[in-house]
Amino acid sequence: MDTVTVGLTAESHVNIQRLKDEGVFADMLDAYRFAVGLAIKRGLLAPEGIKTSTIFNVGSLDRDGTIKDIVSTLFVEAESRPYAFTERLAEAGIKELMQLYNSGQLRFADLFSNE
């Protein structure tokens, strides 16, 4: 059975809050969703077994099931537990976002270009 909540490591939770507080994202849900997409685009995935703490209910994160459907479709290994897998994507995506942000290289238009 899949999880009904998703979370982040303590470090990533601090980082996602910082991105919101500094106006990079309007709210933490948007930052979490964006991080998932970035991780998918860049082929990033946090390791299994990371210790996370709950921050969102999946009903708030993925109201219409789009994230679940995308993750289940793109990653065969996530089919039975797409939200647990989404957590790993978000963790990796937030780490990448923070590296870009801290280096002054965070340019949204460039992140999803075909280059």
Q: Mind listing the pLDDT tens digit for each residue in 55-112?
A: 999 999 999 999 999 999 999 999 899 999 999 999 999 999 999 999 999 998 888 7
Overall domain count for the chain: 1
Instruction: Give the pTM.
Output: 0.94
The span from the CA of 114 to the CA of 44, in Å, is 17
What is the pLDDT at residue 46?
97
What is the pLDDT at residue 111?
80
Query: 29-46 b/e with 16+ CB inside 10 Å = b?
Result: bebbbbbbbbbbeeebbb
Please, which residues bridge with residue 54 across strands?
A: 7
| 89 close to 40: Cβ distance less than 8 angstroms | yes
What is the pLDDT at residue 115?
58
Q: Which CATH number fits the domain that encloses residue 49?
A: 1.10.1220
For residue 94, what are its two tokens? 């937030």
The span from the CA of 106 to the CA of 24, in Å, is 10
Domain assignment of residue 81, given as a range: 5-111
How do residues 10-33 score in pLDDT, each as one tens digit? 999 999 999 999 999 999 999 999
The span from the CA of 87 to the CA of 78, in Å, is 11
The span from the CA of 62 to the CA of 87, in Å, is 12
